[in-house]
Amino acid sequence: MLYSPKKLFLFFLLCIMLIVNYNKNGFVTAANSIGLNYGLLGDNLPSPSNVINLYKSIDITKIRIFDPNTEVLNALRGHRDIAVTVGVRDQDLAALAASEEAVKGWFATNIEPYLSDVNIAFITVGNEVIPGPIGSHVLPVMQSLTNLVKSRNLPISISTVVAMWNLEQSYPPSAGMFTSQAREQLVPVLKLLSQTNTPILVNIYPYFSYASDPSSIPLDYATFNTEAIVVQDGPLGYSNMFDSIFDAFVWAMEKEGVKDLPMVVSETGWPSAGNGNFTTPDIAGTYNRNFVKHIASGKGTPKKPNKGIDGFLFATFNENQKPAGTEQNFGLYNPSDMKPIYKLF
């Protein structure tokens, strides 16, 4: 029997909610902890209005878009139950870093028209550009946007999205430390975020670590599919790679004097095709299901126990204009018929 995307995802979320544990922060449910990335690099994607209807039908209340796409933002008008993270395009950073007036103009064009009826929760300045040749532009743009939203008393958080290549060392997690370029470009950003208690957004992909060294990394460890301790780091035991990577970043921040800064997982996922037996619908489904269970449990990580984690799965659809291979196959849904790539439960 074939099930609709709505029935499959609702059943999925219902099952997750039934296993939720209570912690000191209260109940954490899949519906209010898991968001979806909405990428647009495809020529066969559904209309934004249909995509928003899909999100509402499966109780998704957080999405992330990579630029201030007018069609998507217009489709979100009136749907204030969906919190949106909007990205500043990497190619715009240099011009915006040059002056606060440029930032004000960008905001007036891309954000201001939607404030009354779109729930814009975050603006992210650049996507994985730190460390790198344009990474130095992130801090001044963040400062200008932070000043702007503060002067307007707007409930919009300003941050950036970073990848794990900021880590020079990540194993064991307690040895986590940043590269020299990350210390130069990222640490000032982290200290700005600490002043406003705004989360840093991090992309965590156990898939890439596993695919690069499958003989050394157990698949069950990479996909949350074992309770057995695989990595013992002093008193802390790790049964999944996600927690290990997450905590390595926490340790690296602490070594730079940045403590207790919240982290949001802006991307994680597993491709369902593109790299042979490493990327099957079964493995992708296992990882994504178990990630949602892990977040919904509210148990946090070994270094940060009982601390809820916000996370976004990557991505809503397979996108055929991305580079061929795994990059085209991270979607939960086929764009042509909006049906799931695999059963979610």
- Residue 5 confidence (pLDDT): 52
Three-class SS state of 329: coil
- Residue 339 confidence (pLDDT): 95
- Residue 42 confidence (pLDDT): 97
Per-residue pLDDT of the chain (345 residues; tens, 9 = 90+): 444 555 444 445 444 444 333 332 222 334 336 999 999 999 999 999 999 999 999 999 999 999 999 999 999 999 999 999 999 999 999 999 999 999 999 999 999 999 999 999 999 999 999 999 999 999 999 999 999 999 999 999 999 999 999 999 999 999 999 999 999 999 999 999 999 999 999 999 999 999 999 999 999 999 999 999 999 999 999 999 999 999 999 999 999 999 999 999 999 999 999 999 999 999 999 999 999 999 999 999 999 999 999 999 999 999 999 999 999 999 999 999 999 999 765
**Residue 316 buriedness (CB in 10 A; 0-12 / 13-18 / 19+):** buried
Separation in Å, CA 19 to CA 14, 28, 61, 113: 9, 10, 20, 41
Burial 133-146 (b: 16+ CB within 10 A, else e): eebbbbbbbbbbbb
pTM value? 0.91
Give the closest residue to 138 by CA, choosing from 104, 173, 87.
Answer: 87
- Residue 4 confidence (pLDDT): 54
Upper half-sphere CA count for residue 217 (Cβ side, 13 Å): 22
| Number of alpha helices (DSSP H) and beta strands (DSSP E) in the chain | 12, 14
- Residue at token pair 């000043």: 147
The residues carrying an active-site annotation are 128, 267
- Residue 65 confidence (pLDDT): 98
- Residue 343 confidence (pLDDT): 79
